Structure 1
Amino acid sequence: MRRLIGIRALVAAASATVGVVAVAPPGYADPSPTPSSASVVRAVEVPETCPEGGAECVDGTISELGERFAGLGRACAHHTTFTLAYLRTTQGFKWGRDQGIFTDNRWVNREGALFAEYYYRAYDDWAAGRRSAVPAAWLAALDAARDRRLTGAGDLMLGMSAHINRDLPYVLAQVGLTRPDGTSRKPDHDRVNQILAELVDPLLAELIARYDPDGFDVGIPPEVVLGLLVSWREQAWRNAVRLTNARNPFTRAIVEFDIESSAVATAAGLATLTSYLPPLTGPGPRAAHCAAHHADPPPVAYPFGVPPAY
């Protein structure tokens, strides 16, 4: 019963991203004099690296994510779970694209490349100590992983929330929500959900086998996780519409503040529910398991096959 209550609370907290104007609790503040994770960083448009939307956009993203994952995974860094999930999702995206799932490959290629740039920018600014440039939701996720405060599921969900709830609305608004003829690109946006549905089970199996068997044993069915991701992606589209329809800088600032503060509130709720509870629980078993198994191959095939460990 206690586990069931915890699961429901986790899903409820993760879903509470709409219209929330809140900041992280004091426990999320960084002890340094630099801005805390409660600070709201105004969105800065990230330059596109693949504006033409060629097939090489996705290949380049897979290569870059693979390099980042390899370094983190071999070090058993807690940032690994999100980066692995991002890599496998992008590989799945390429597979789905090549199956003909999308109607406009150039648009989705362009979107995917820009989406990854938002993650690179946040992580690299954080790693370089440029905390004032890092969005608050990303500070929460990256700091928690650095400090090894959360389970594998917590690290994964904070990263996913920052990237979907915070980054994705800006990416969508930047690449455009409509075709030249005025029709909506929403159908292609929604088709990504079909790919995610194919990835949830093998990804969970790989995360458990290689990195954290206990941290992902939370009793939440994969279809519930998928439903949460789909709801986040739906809200990201709606927030992108709000950004696009903002008629002046003041209106745009209000929308941005809502996006940023909602993402921080979600991070705070997720962190509270997935934190270790010393001395009862801690990162030690996870570290030991990762040291022994991080180089193991994925135990279950993905739709695109069985990728190498690194």
Structure 2
Amino acid sequence: MRSLAEFTGEVSSIPQVVTALSAIRDASAEDLFQPEIDGISAFTRLYTIITQNVLDTVDRKKTRRFNDPDFLTRLDLEFARRYLAAIKAYQSGSPDTPASWSVLFDRRRDQDIRHVNFAACGVNAHVNFDLTFALIETWRDFPPNDARREDYDQVNDIFAEEMDELREDFGAFLAETRDGGILDRFGNFASDLVVRVTRSWAWDSAVDVWDTYDPDQDGGGQRFQNAYARELGAQDRAASLAGRMLLGAPTLP
């Protein structure tokens, strides 16, 4: 099986992120004759689609507009770097691999797990663990304000745009009902609600840590560093537990 670490180098633009994700998506599944499912490929396929939509918005290929595209670009890069770093750590056998990601990586070739469960587990790790700290790193140069929160929330609309097709692509349970029917629409609504709630929670958690940040002290100050470390550990533990539950769920809507 090809090492994915070769695709985890530094990224400095959203196109580079899309290229790296596409390479990971394809390389992680290139030996798939049997087994047929790879969890890294499943999640990265979803992640590539969403990132491409963000890129199209930044490049004004969509009617949607961001107030501060530089902020969204930086956030997208910080977000992606955490995923790439998790893959690199895992591939090297590092004990620094976050527990929330190890849940997915360790069972990536378990053929009893469906694509939709792998995708949901990856979204859980990336949103319920990575996103808070990607925001904090971004805020060092782009401090939070109402306009940037509005841009952040617009990413929820990107998920909503892609939700129906993603659920069909990954074989979600309710997506297999009549397209556009009440059960299909309920599945889209429930999935969209989860994205909006968890992304809002990630922002609020980042604000709680950011409120302890002192720009006049190295590293933001000891109080900030302590708050950061506590939140990092708590979120990793919570996301790893949620990830195990998602992988073991008999079906997802």
TM-score, L = length of structure 1: 0.63
Residue of structure 1 equivalent to 2:122 = 159
2:151 is matched with which residue: 188, 191, 199? 188
Residue of structure 1 equivalent to 2:17 = 61
Q: 1 or 2, which has the higher helix percentage?
A: 2
CA distance in 2, matches of 1:138, 1:181: 27
Residue of structure 2 equivalent to 1:18 = none
Q: How does 1:27-46 map to 2 (within 5 A)?
A: none
Instruction: Label 1:250 to 1:71 Cα distance change in 2 as closer, same or farther (>3 A).
Output: closer
Residue of structure 1 equivalent to 2:47 = 86
Identical aligned residues as a percent:
22
Residue of structure 2 equivalent to 1:231 = 197
CA distance in 2, matches of 1:122, 1:274: 27
Structure 1 unaligned segments of length 5 or more: list them. Answer: 1-46, 51-56, 276-310
CA distance in 2, matches of 1:263, 1:239: 14
The answer to whether the 8 A contact 2:163-2:192 is kept is yes
Residue of structure 2 equivalent to 1:125 = 89
Q: CA deviation at 1:204?
A: 2.4
Instruction: Label 1:177 to 1:195 Cα distance change in 2 as closer, same or farther (>3 A).
Output: farther
2:102 is matched with which residue: 139, 150, 171? 139
The answer to whether the 8 A contact 1:78-1:148 is kept is no
1:244-291 deviations in Å (ceiling 9; x for gaps): 12361333333223222221221132233248xxxxxxxxxxxxxxxx
Matched, 1:114 2:114: no
Residue of structure 2 equivalent to 1:240 = 206
Q: Which has the higher contact order (CA 8 A, sep 6+)?
A: 1
Three-state SS of the structure 2 residue aligned to 1:145 is coil
CA distance in 2, matches of 1:160, 1:147: 18
Which amino acid letter does the alignment assign opposite residue 244 of structure 2? Answer: A
In the comparison of the two structures, how many residue pairs are matched?
218
CA distance in 1, matches of 2:55, 2:43: 18
Residue of structure 2 equivalent to 1:272 = 248
Which amino acid letter does the alignment assign opposite residue 155 of structure 2? Answer: V
Matched, 1:222 2:183: no
Three-state SS of the structure 2 residue aligned to 1:133 is coil
Q: How much is the aligned-residue C-alpha RMSD, in angstroms?
A: 2.8
The answer to whether the 8 A contact 2:116-2:170 is kept is no
Which amino acid letter does the alignment assign opposite residue 119 of structure 2? Answer: L
Structure 2 unaligned segments of length 5 or more: list them. Answer: 1-8, 178-182, 214-222
Q: CA deviation at 1:171?
A: 0.3
The answer to whether the 8 A contact 1:242-1:255 is kept is no
Q: CA deviation at 1:205?
A: 2.8
Which amino acid letter does the alignment assign opposite residue 201 of structure 2? Answer: Q
1:183-212 deviations in Å (ceiling 9; x for gaps): 56211110111111111112223334xxxx
1:258 is matched with which residue: 230, 234, 243? 234
